[in-house]
């Protein structure tokens, strides 16, 4: 995780995201929904955070999105890291 000044800690990133997610929940209508786009390095932490803010019962889906970067198959060397995650919650 980087910022304009270099790397930031995971705890600082999650605190920042918690503040933003609380603000988003406050302005969403009762019929609203939210999709959070994140990469695999923090998606599991963000899922827990969103469960706490939006409620586990309001979780609808975790969507894996395969990015295409024109890379050739490197499965013999390592598994691909070309996916991101969308976390989908309703209010």
Q: What is the CATH number of the domain that holds 80?
A: 3.40.50.150
| pLDDT on residue 75 | 62
Boundaries of domain holding 20: 2-90
Task: Inform me whether the pLDDT recorded for 7 exceeds 60.
Answer: yes
pTM > 0.95: yes or no: no
Distance CA 53, CA 49 (A): 6
| In the chain, % of residues over pLDDT 70 | 78
Task: Inform me whether the pLDDT recorded for 18 exceeds 90.
Answer: yes
Number of H helices, E strands in the chain: 2, 5
For the chain, the domain total comes to 1
pLDDT digits (tens, 9 = 90+) for 20-63: 999 999 999 999 999 999 988 899 999 999 999 999 999 999 99
Contact between 21 and 46 (Cβ < 8 Å): no
| pLDDT on residue 8 | 80
């Amino acid at each position: 995780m980087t910022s304009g000044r270099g790397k930031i800690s995971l705890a600082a990133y999650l605190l920042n995201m918690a503040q933003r997610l609380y603000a988003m929940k406050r302005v969403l209508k009762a019929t609203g929904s939210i999709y959070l786009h994140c990469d695999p390095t923090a998606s599991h932490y963000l899922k827990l955070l969103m469960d706490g803010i939006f409620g586990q019962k309001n979780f609808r889906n975790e969507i894996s999105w395969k990015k295409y970067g024109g890379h050739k198959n490197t499965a013999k060397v390592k598994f691909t890291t070309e996916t991101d995650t969308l976390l989908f919650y309703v209010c």
